[in-house]
Structure 1
Amino acid sequence: MSRQMTPPDVAIGIASTGIYFPPGIETAAQLADKTGIPADVITEKFGLVQKHVSDSSIHASDMAVEAGRAAIRGMDPLDIDVVIYFGSPHKDYLVWSSAPKIQHELGAKNAYAFEMMNVSSCFPIALKVAKDMLIADSGVENILLVGGCKESQIIDYENPRSRFMFNFADGGAAALVKRGTGNRILGSSFLTDGSFHNDVKVPAGGSALPASLVTVRDRLHYIDVTDPADMKERLDPVSVPNFITVVKQAVQNSGYRVEDIDLLLPLHTKKSMFHQLLDGLGLNEDQAVYLDHHGHMSALDPCIGLHFAKEQGKLRKGGLVVTVSAGTGYTWAATVIQWEGD
């Protein structure tokens, strides 16, 4: 039986969000002890007061489940049609899909589940994927986007090459996307520069360098930067301009101008980049959510920012909200939401 195409102008939006943070907290002072970087530098330059870190009993899938539970509270889990994991690729196991576990733990027995991964840039992309699925398939009503992150575990604080990743933290986030609701998902824009594909990675554990006693001894199972100076020389001239490009294009694709932006929800970056991004878009700090008490959690940051913005009363009816992020590799991504209320 053929399905009828849903008209593109049907409202598809975010009905609810959920977040979860493990109880463990690491402060700037504690990070200073680990890294030798002064606490005031971590606070003022890294933009990090503290971050949540999980212990050995809590994994990315567990945090995703808890965030998912919060996002669907009051809803029958059997009404969920699709569960999409969009979180960190560093999960409980190396070659393993967490989406079926999340579906099972949430009781979403009628949903099919799968994963999409584009490291830190994935939430704006996942919003577009969910919207496009709802447009294309009238048999789908509710899609749960859910992610977890335990990337604090893959940081080697003794490795100065990974310095810019010392803000990596842990948590979970989820967003329920559905047809016929407000908080409409509008236009998107994505940009990939694959010349950065080999700059940032966990060197060992894959097919190129299988795990061995040598890889463990040489600490090759932590995330690393091949050549920080070379990457910085190539990345600095394009990073902020590419952020601004995808934001402006996503807003234009939504039928608006950059001057119409009410709120920006970016990934957590160092303070200087955060301010450069605001300046480039003509925004002030009150028009953004900066996760200085939570750090960077892979693709979760803009989703967590949206949840906090609602809690903090930063979302006004009719306001234009832009989720924006970037992931190593390198992809910059932005998706626009028009907020219409609870």
Structure 2
Amino acid sequence: MRWENLYIAGLGAYLPEHEVTAEQAVAAGQYDAGRAEANGIHAVRVASHEETGPVMAAAAARQAIARSGHANEDFGLVLHSGMGHQGQDFWTPAHYVQNETVGGDAAAIEFRQGSNGGLAGVELAASYIVSRPDTTAALVTAGDSFKLPYVDRWNSDDQTVYGDGAGAIVLSTRGGFAKVRSTASISESSLEPIYRGTDWTDVPFESGRPADLDERKRSWLTRHESAYEEAMGRIGDKFAAVLGKALEDADTKLPDTQWFIHANVAQTIAEWGFYQPLGLDLSQTTYEWGKHLGHMGGGDHLIGLNHLFETGKPKAGDLVVAVGVGLGFMWTVAVIEVLDAPQW
């Protein structure tokens, strides 16, 4: 989708102060040394009991709102995304974020799109505010805190190390420091079983053991000889399609862009999924910085965008490509044009 009057007015992030390094986790017997070397994640932030996903998201949102110049009454939509437990059962965390930030009676909606939550929220919010002339701003947040015994941040997924944190973005039809040129999303529902596993459960956390995403993946990707290759082929095709669509709608090509934001994934995934096939240079990304935070679910992209602009490196005219992929599978790509260096 090509956007003509959609802007980023504010960005925010919240990262817990407590840090645990991969080296410390290996020494404590919590993480395998070989896996640590292969994944290349150096450290994660670990939230306290009080720093739930929505609490951190609200903190990130307050920063983004303050930077945006928008008044609370400007917001016509609040979207919140999380991957894991959000601090309470039978509860609506999006309304917590709304109540702690802009208040009011705008629509507040929680959605789950795994690691693609932040960018999927951007596209949904864009469609919402652009189609409503009386709504000038939308708030999108993503926040997660990954805790035992529900999630083992070091071992629940062999190629992912989960860190805690939250990000927020304010989209505006009034103006901002960057313009969203285009967004595109695409799904491949045939890959849905990869993370579902083979057995249903009657209640959350029924087994009392940490989520084992490795076992779910293995049971599906090894069901026949060519299952893995078929899945990788579909993933590659859909990623190429959504990236190409977003770049086409933005009237640009990847070599003509200056910055690239992706999730804080294992270095093998980053190398084979992004750097080699796309010809990216590490200096175009926030990946080295992200290796000290781990994968923070759908918040990675919002937090990464916030960090990129806080460095002061993007200049007017630069193009930023943000790429997300989440369970389902679903991909979202946003192409962003820098208009000016934000005052903050």
TM class by shorter chain equals: 0.7 to 0.9
State which of 159, 168, 171 in structure 2 corresponds to 1:174. 168
Query: Partner amino acid for 2:134?
Result: G
Kept in 2, the 8 Å contact 1:203–1:222? The answer is no
Q: For residues 76-115 of structure 1, what are the structure 2 equivalents within 5 Å?
A: 76-115=71-110
Query: For the residues of structure 2 that align with 1:53 and 1:305, how far apart are their CA atoms?
Result: 18
Tell me: CA distance 1:139–1:132, structure 2 relative to 1, closer, same or farther (3 Å).
same
Alignment correspondent of 2:7: 13
Structure 1 equivalent of residue 263 of structure 2: 267
Q: 1:112-166: CA deviations, max 9, x gaps? A: 311222111122222222221122100111111112111354433796x73223x
Deviates more, 1:180-189 or 1:137-146: 180-189
- Say which SS state the counterpart of residue 39 (structure 2) adopts: coil
Q: Which AA in structure 2 matches 1:265?
A: I
Is 1:215 the counterpart of 2:211? The answer is no
Displacement, 1:324? 0.7
* 1:279-294 equivalent positions in 2, closer than 5 A: 279-290=276-287, 291-294=290-293
Measure, in 2, the Cα distance between the counterparts of 1:58 and 1:223: 24
Q: What is aligned with 1:5?
A: none
Tell me the residue number matched to 1:197. Answer: 192
- Is the 2:188–2:330 Cα contact (8 Å) retained in structure 1? yes
Opposite residue 336 of structure 1, the aligned amino acid is V
Note if 1:247 corresponds to 2:243. Answer: yes
> 2:225 maps to which residue?
none
C-alpha distance after superposition, 1:63-116 (max 9, x if no partner): 111111111126533332221113335312243210111111114224331122
Q: Answer whether contact 1:17 1:175 (CA < 8 A) is retained.
A: yes
Aligned residue for 1:196, secondary structure, equals helix
CA spacing shift, 1:131–1:211, aligned 2, 3 Å: closer
Specify the SS of the correspondent of 2:139: strand
Equivalent-residue separation in structure 2 for 1:149 and 1:275 (angstroms) = 25
Post-superposition offset of 1:295? 0.8
* 8 Å contact from structure 1 (residues 12, 178) kept in 2: yes
Q: Is the 8 A contact 1:19 1:67 kept in 2?
A: yes
Paired with 1:78 and 1:300, the residues of 2 have a C-alpha distance of 25
CA distance in 2 between partners of 1:188 and 1:158 (Å)? 33
Q: Deviations over 1:306-340 (max 9, x none)?
A: 11111123312111111111112211221111111
Equivalent position amino acid for 1:215 in 2: S
C-alpha distance in 1 between matches for 2:117 and 2:205: 33
* Identity across the alignment (%): 22
Structure 2: state its 5+ residue gaps: 223-227
Structure 1 residue 41 displacement after superposition: 5.0
> Which position in structure 1 is the counterpart of 2:126?
131
* Residue 321 of structure 1: aligned partner: 320
Rounded Cα–Cα distance in structure 2 between residues aligned with 1:274 and 1:158: 18
Q: TM-score, normalised by structure 1?
A: 0.86
State whether residues 78 and 109 of structure 2, in contact with CA within 8 Å, keep that contact through their aligned partners in structure 1. yes
> Structure 1 segments of 4 or more deviating over 6 A?
none
Give the secondary-structure state (helix, strand or coil) at the position aligned to 2:157: helix
Asked if structure 1 preserves the Cα contact closer than 8 Å seen for 2:114 and 2:327, the reply is: yes
Q: Partner amino acid for 1:278?
A: Y
Distance 1:286 1:163 in 2: 27
- 3-state SS, counterpart of residue 72 of structure 1: helix
Q: Deviation per CA, 1:208-265, whole angstroms, max 9, x where unpaired?
A: 412499722xx16565542427438244444455434322221112111222221111
- Cross-structure match for 1:151: 146
How many residue pairs match? The answer is: 326
Query: Contact 2:84–2:146 at 8 Å: present in 1 too?
Result: no
Whole-angstrom CA distance in 1 between matches of 2:118 and 2:206: 36
Question: Gapped runs of 5+ residues in structure 1?
Answer: 1-7
Structure-to-structure mapping, 1:326-341, within 5 angstroms: 326-341=325-340
Give 1:68's aligned amino acid: A
